[in-house]
Amino acid sequence: MKIRSFEVYILDLPTIRPHQLAMHTITVQTIVVGCVTDDEGREGWSEVATIGGASYGESTPEAIKANIDTYITPLIIGQDPNHFDRIMNDVAKLVRGNYFAKTVVENAIIDLAAKAKNIPAFELFGGQIHKSLPIAWTLASGNTEKDIEEAQEMLEKKRHNIFKLKIGKGDPFKNVEHVRSIKEALGDAARLTVDVNQAWDEDTSNYCIAALEAAGVSMVEQPLAAWDFEGMSRLTAKFNVPIMADEAATSIQDVFRIAKYRAGNSIALKPCKHGGMTQTKKVVGIAEASGLGLYGGTMIESSLGTAACAQLYSTISDMKFGTEIFGPLLFKDNVTVNDIKFENFEVIVPDGPGFGMEIDKEKVKHYAREFSGKQEMMN
């Protein structure tokens, strides 16, 4: 069993509505899909998503594909996918950073290795603890009445009872009033969190977090710039409401620094920003050892990437803040034949071989930006 080829596709998937963040408003989400094939013709598939090209981070879709094709693929051809940890360790010695690209490669190899053994991928990471996980939904219209109506509809359907509000864009003080009104309308029926996406300075944070805490918000995510560890430490010490690090919590070294200096008392997990599933489990170990709360984050992946996240998160003992892997619900279409199930305020963890998803090759072909020279794999 040896790796024969690795192909990468950039896809643009339309969303059901605009999804507003501080740095970008998503109307079409770009995902990067990888396919690894072994010498017996078996395939493993993976996905990462980015937000707004280079607006969220340095890993653009185009750079992810180029760096995999040029620098990573030659290192993995001929390797045994069962030894995915060793493969990625060797890759790390020759390719610096590029966490999103490494995640595409590692996850596809893991999907292949698990499929070859006819087991779910979570069996390769200690086995499943949770069959389902609490799932949050982002209210992102920016209109208070619409957001309240949407939240109440989700509660009635028993789809979500945790809601996140993206409040990094626009007037911070008006945004706080927006959050306060929604929390007042929903009361104890729902838990409300906010994500600032690094948009505030420390003075703004001091005022706004105090108001959010008084309003009953249960978590404030990344209020300051990712580099401002000292500012995050001061906010964490000052307020009772949990302060979550997301963009600041990238490498295992970043997470160790957050733990050491208490630059946040919780972190958002995202395999793509950590460099893959094995690195994410190392991040979890640091967090658990230092008492940091965990949150299963998303980069707005489609069903394939969401399944990978769900399987990994299901192996973690305590997800204190739940998850927000709602990506498939935001897309008009998906790239898998089967869908992720959401019910009773939770996401059901797929348990088929690999990540438990069957790829729809025609959909990949339809949404891929470039397809010339790659038809053979799709036949």
> For the segment 163-215, what is each residue's pLDDT rounded down to a tens digit?
999 999 899 999 999 999 999 999 999 999 999 999 999 999 999 999 999 99
Computed over its alpha carbons, how large is the radius of gyration of the chain?
A: 20
In this predicted structure, the answer to whether residue 378 has a pLDDT above a threshold of 60 is no
Cross-strand partners of 114: none
Cβ-contact 257, 287 below 8 angstroms: no
Cβ-contact 40, 5 below 8 angstroms: no
Q: Which pTM was predicted?
A: 0.92
Rounded Cα distance between 213 and 241, Å, is 6
Class for domain 3-118+358-371, per CATH? alpha beta
pLDDT at 376: 47
Rounded Cα distance between 374 and 361, Å, is 12
Considering only CA atoms, which of 203, 150, 208 is closest in space to residue 174?
208
Write the CA distances from 214 to 30, 84, 117, 182, 268, integer angstroms. Answer: 37, 47, 52, 14, 23
Instruction: State the amino acid at position 313 in one-letter form.
Output: Y
Confidence at 28, pLDDT banded by 50, 70, 90: confident
Rounded Cα distance between 40 and 38, Å, is 5
pLDDT at 289: 97
Confidence at 23, pLDDT banded by 50, 70, 90: low
Considering only CA atoms, which of 278, 231, 276, 240 is closest in space to residue 258?
231
User: CB within 8 A of 46, min separation 6: which ones?
Assistant: 33, 34, 35, 36, 103, 104, 105, 106, 107, 108, 110, 111, 304, 305, 308
* Topology (CATH level 3) of domain 124-348: TIM Barrel (3.20.20)
Cβ-contact 300, 268 below 8 angstroms: no
Cβ-contact 350, 307 below 8 angstroms: yes
Mean pLDDT of the residues in the chain: 94
Give 242-272 pLDDT, tens digit per residue: 999 999 999 999 999 999 999 999 999 999 9
Confidence at 90, pLDDT banded by 50, 70, 90: very high
Q: Which of 164, 166, 183, 270 is catalytic?
A: 166
In this predicted structure, the answer to whether residue 51 has a pLDDT above a threshold of 50 is yes
**How many residues appear in the chain?**
379
In this predicted structure, the answer to whether residue 338 has a pLDDT above a threshold of 90 is yes
In the chain, what are the domain boundaries?
Answer: 3-118+358-371, 124-348
pLDDT at 142: 81
166 included as an active-site residue: yes
Same fold, 3-118+358-371 and 124-348: no
Strands 43-49 and 219-221: unpaired
In this predicted structure, the answer to whether residue 377 has a pLDDT above a threshold of 90 is no
Rounded Cα distance between 94 and 75, Å, is 9
- Looking at per-residue pLDDT, the higher value among 244 and 26 belongs to 244
User: CB within 8 A of 229, min separation 6: which ones?
Assistant: 248, 257, 258, 261, 263
